[in-house]
Structure 1
Amino acid sequence: MGWEQYYGHEQKREMFARALQRGRLGHAYLFVGPSGIGKRSFARLLAQSLLCTRRPDGELTACGECSGCRQVLTRNHPDLMEVGLPEGKSELPIDVFVGSPERRGREGLCHELSLSAMQGGYRIAIIDDADRMNIASANALLKTLEEPGPGAVLILIAEDADQVIQTIRSRCQQLYFGPLNENDLRKAVEDQLARQEPGESQLPLETVLAGAHGSVEQALGRMNRSPDFAAAEKSLQDMLARPQWTAARLSKAAEPLLSQFGSDTSAQREGAHAVVGCCLKACYRQLVGGSTAGLSDWQRDHWADAVDLCLETGIQIDRRATVALCLDAFFQELEIRLRPTWNPSPVRS
């Protein structure tokens, strides 16, 4: 994959291109934004560009053919390290950064970054799920951020910046990656589909894109959903748009959507994300359409609080052991935050 196959976030690419031209590339960046909108792909393309042996000085390009590019594409470049949440774990453990207890300080990401680049130039680390670091992991990484090795570039990736420990966050240049616009999302999905085995989607592409919230990951996940999936989403969103619902009724309305997923824990989490994402879209639609729907400023504030709740819950789903309890708490809190909007004027004490 090269920049010509990457869609969206043009301003970020231009920013890094200018930084290279001026010799002002930073040593630590924090990429923040929703899941599936291209943060990790951007980080890998940036790394590939920096490690491309044919890249002209000061340009952000990647030829895709040199030894450096091929090693990045096959995930075996000696100067590029990637870490993320281990399977079955809820936190990034300290061992990822400083090695196992038996070899602490002699292996792990921090040790690797202290070494000089094996092929000259940059030595790059991509840290996915940076919002899952615990205190011990953050403290281990902190020294590397404060005293990076020669040519070191760290790229941290997170969905929620507030969940990244403040001492880490303050030492990184933070960049927000928003959902893809409709045109970029369409191009990205069509490009992905062209490179996959042909298959028959049960949902029209327009329906897939409309419910993907600007996320390629979500769009591809929706391709083989049945028409009942779209109907269940619409039913849930319609209920949220009407006043006087209760948490219990909202929970009941979410059941048809949850039934589209399996019963194992992973499938339950995926279903919970679908429900919360559906609510997020409905709340956001109310928020941005408030000026034309006759909403007052205080009502819009409540819808903004609801959007924040949806985003917070999306993070919590992967951290809570019991998905059902997480959704129950979400529905109850959503009712609390939106109930005041059902009245024509705010209640004053």
Structure 2
Amino acid sequence: MAWHGIEGHDAIVDFFRRAAAKGRLSGSYLFVGPAGIGKRTFALKLAQALLCQTRAESLMDPCGTCAACVQVAAGTHPDVMLISRPEDRAFIPVESLIGERDHRWSSGFCRHVSLKPYSNRRRVGVIDDADYLNAEGANALLKTLEEPPPDAVLILIGTSPAKQLPTIRSRCRQIRFSPLPAETVAKLLLTLGWASDAEEANRLARWSGGSLTQARELADPLLWEFIDRWQTALARRSLDFSTWSKEIRQFVDAAGKEAFPRRRRLQQLASLSAEFFLRIARTGIAGGHVSADDASASGGSVPSGQTAHACSPHWQDGAEAAVASAELCLAVYAAVDRNANLATLIDAWTHKLRQTMRSEPVAPILPF
């Protein structure tokens, strides 16, 4: 049963309800799980539950209509502060945490949560994109995390504990969010109008990895037209890396003028390529075989996910090379997060991918 429209996280709702009923809410939480599964939405709904003027905190059941609930939903509640990484920055600016250099600790996230609540209830601070806290930012948070004010609840949102510095992990109660079930993703896609019919919703959901954000991004038909040609080339286990470097650069640049959509498009390509190679590896290890025609997506549409991209004749006995190629694609995905130069990254990826697919020695020329 959905908690105030939030699907798939009922066990976490129960955890917070029990903790609130016993008066044992922690001062600092780290929400971790794949992107696009509702962690930020959950954090803001939790803020509503903690600040609701008509229902007790222990119920974890905000009314949604009182002044406090409306303000939280609108992003205007004086006791709630949410910060995130700006799209044009590689990390969360330290100024967002502790104020401008000439006025440190007089503004920012840490200052906000240290103040007495206007509502006489709680202060709630949410740091989205906590994966992008650099060492300076994390260190600025330490004192606040070590000794959170008694009326404050701090929530950091990331994708993996491994992406947080040990000093952050050790000072927060970790709450792990699981990917959404495919049927839940499909239902949400239809409800939100992001899929034209149930068939498309189900196809997108199967490829989404349990992420609503990923499912919406995958609805782009231009993406699948390119993936169809790209994975057909990969199925042949041979690449003209100079030609494909140029094509990938053009495809990525076509995503828009801003850096974020271009970086995200390269991550989509890297992620789907990794999935392609993992399917080859699984089929090869199991001794399966599918024709070369079956090794690519059909007609530029979203593959069904049932038999797409299994072994072509060129990949017989190629499971080890497929695993290495998948690892390379995942490394590219991570390098985008580290703000690598896209043109250099694409050139290096296609060059090394050609060598890896053919089980050739790989020169250490990559910027990741």
Among candidates 237, 242, 249, match of residue 244 of structure 1: 237
1: CA distance between counterparts of 2:327 and 2:13?
Answer: 28
Quick check: 2:34–2:179 contact (8 Å CA) kept in 1?
yes
**Of residues 324, 330, 345 in structure 1, which corresponds to 2:343?**
324
Give, in angstroms, the shift of residue 164 of structure 1. Answer: 1.8
Match of 1:344 in 2: none
Equivalent residue for 1:208?
204
Structure 2 residue 148 is the aligned partner of structure 1 residue 148: yes
Structure 1, 185-194 or 243-252: larger mean CA deviation: 243-252
1:213-292, aligned counterparts within 5 Å?
A: 213-223=209-219, 225-226=220-221, 228-237=222-231, 239-240=233-234, 242=235, 244-246=237-239, 248=241, 251=245, 254=248, 258=252, 261-262=255-256, 265-286=259-280, 292=286
Aligned positions of 1:1-349 closer than 5 A: 3-193=3-193, 204-223=200-219, 225-226=220-221, 228-237=222-231, 239-240=233-234, 242=235, 244-246=237-239, 248=241, 251=245, 254=248, 258=252, 261-262=255-256, 265-286=259-280, 292-293=286-287, 310-331=329-350
TM-score (normalizing by structure 2): 0.76
- The answer for unaligned runs of 5 or more in structure 1 is 342-349
Does the 8 A contact of 1:131 with 1:164 survive in 2? yes
**1:312-349 Cα shifts (integer Å, max 9, x gaps):** 533431432521222334445556766669xxxxxxxx
| Secondary structure, counterpart of 2:192 in structure 1 | helix
Rounded Cα–Cα distance in structure 2 between residues aligned with 1:20 and 1:305: 47
Compared CA separation, residues 138 and 229, structure 1 to 2 (3 A): closer
Query: What count of residue pairs does the alignment treat as equivalent?
Result: 330
Q: Is the 8 A contact 1:116 1:150 kept in 2?
A: no
Letter aligned with residue 259 of structure 2? T
Root-mean-square deviation (Å)? 3.5
Deviation at 1:17, TM superposition (A): 2.3
Segment drifting more, 268-277 vs 254-263: 254-263
Cα distance 1:269–1:28, how it changes in 2: closer, same or farther (>3 A)?
Answer: same
Q: What is the DSSP-based 3-state SS (H/G/I as helix, E as strand, rest coil) of the residue aligned with 2:264?
A: helix
Structure 2: where are the runs of 5+ without partners? 289-310, 312-317, 361-368
Letter of the aligned partner of 1:184 in structure 2?
T
Deviations 1:81-128 (A, max 9, x none): 101112411111211111112321111111111112221222111101
Q: Quote the sequence identity (%).
A: 33
Shift in CA distance, 68/288, structure 1 to aligned 2, threshold 3 Å = farther
Q: Secondary structure at the match of 1:214?
A: coil
Q: Quick one: distance in 2 between partners of 1:309 and 1:50?
A: 44
What is the identity, as a one-letter code, of the residue corresponding to 1:233?
I
| Amino acid paired to 1:51 | L
3-state secondary structure, aligned to 2:204: helix
C-alpha separation in 2, matches of 1:119 and 1:80: 11
Q: Matched residues in 1 for 2:251 and 2:277: separation?
A: 17
CA distance in 1, matches of 2:69, 2:329: 39
TM-score (norm 1): 0.79
